[in-house]
Amino acid sequence: MSKKKRTNRHPAYYLLTLGCPKNTVDSEGMAMLLQNDGYRATANPDAADILIVNTCGFLESAKEESLATLNDLARSKRRGQKLVAAGCLAQRNGDEIVRHVPGVDALLGTRRWMEIVPLVDALRAGRSTERYSLLGDPEHDDGVVVRPPAFGGSAYLKISDGCNAPCAFCSIPSFKGKLRSRPMAAVVDEAAGLVRNGARELVVVAQDSTDYGRDRGEADSLPQLLAAICRRSPDLRWLRLMYAYPGHVSDRLIEVMATEPQIVNYLDMPLQHGHPETLRRMRR
């Protein structure tokens, strides 16, 4: 009897992350929210009360992997276990997940991951949960992310979500939505917290990191953000910039990268093609 009470008091969750570094950041946020609410992590899905898969839906191969993973967990579910499909595939093809994986109990979209605790609480309590109720934009998002201590000395730092680029070949805006930059103060605070907890390298990630701030009326604000991170966190050894869009790289960004010794002196850029006509058709 006492063992049952302990299990109810400290339910376990199993969280599997598929896809890119942005998903990793969201999963870390979900994990901390769950742990702060009394849930405990387990690496064994059989021992979990809640099964969560943070899916990827960008490429067909990623979609197939996500569906296969969800199906494997759904088939092995024991009575009382709940299965949540989160992330990009849930946002992009939620109806397909429900159709092909009948064991899924709820969907959680790319911009609603911070509502994981009330969602799993509702599932465990047996309250009615509409599968599509957590796929839209949240009513309020202050950009604050709860993150775990950095293990291994390196951590991702997500500065925005979504993308405004009209690329003809890319589906990301259809399920990630328009660009939504996090407030600069929230990003700088998160970076400082990660460094304080052991990170010596921060890897800046976004769908398009060089577009940061444009949705907030702050064009070319990425250089200001990077400089602010360096000033606030002098113990940071490396600040690495990923997912830079060539057309948005400014002279100011190059200047800041050249003068701030903490910023690694290279740009990770997606160069899809070198022919102007092909780039025009790609809308790059």
Q: Phi-psi region for residue 213, left (φ > 0), alpha (ψ -120 to 50) or beta? A: left
Q: Is 16 helix (H, G, I), strand (E, B) or coil?
A: strand
Structure tokens at 187: 């990003």
Q: What pLDDT was estimated at residue 147?
A: 64
Q: What pLDDT was estimated at residue 132?
A: 43
Q: What pLDDT was estimated at residue 28?
A: 92
What is the C-alpha to C-alpha distance for residues 13 and 39, in angstroms, rounded to an integer?
7
Give me the domains of the chain, ranges plus CATH numbers: 2-125 (3.40.50.12160), 154-259 (3.30.750.210)
Q: What pLDDT was estimated at residue 137?
A: 60
Q: What pLDDT was estimated at residue 139?
A: 56
Q: What pLDDT was estimated at residue 77?
A: 94
Q: What pLDDT was estimated at residue 33?
A: 94
**Which residues contact residue 142 at a Cβ distance below 8 angstroms, ignoring those fewer than 6 apart?**
183, 186
The neighbour count for residue 190, using CB atoms within 10 Å, is 23
- Tallying the residues shown for the chain, one arrives at 284
DSSP state of 263: B
Tens digit of pLDDT at every position of the chain (284 positions): 334 333 455 899 999 999 999 999 999 999 999 999 999 999 999 999 999 999 998 888 999 999 999 999 999 999 999 999 999 999 988 889 999 998 999 999 888 898 999 999 999 888 765 554 555 665 555 555 666 665 669 999 999 998 888 888 887 877 788 899 999 999 999 999 999 989 999 999 999 999 999 999 988 899 999 999 999 999 999 999 999 988 889 999 999 999 999 999 988 877 777 888 988 888 87
Q: What pLDDT was estimated at residue 120?
A: 93
Q: What pLDDT was estimated at residue 146?
A: 63
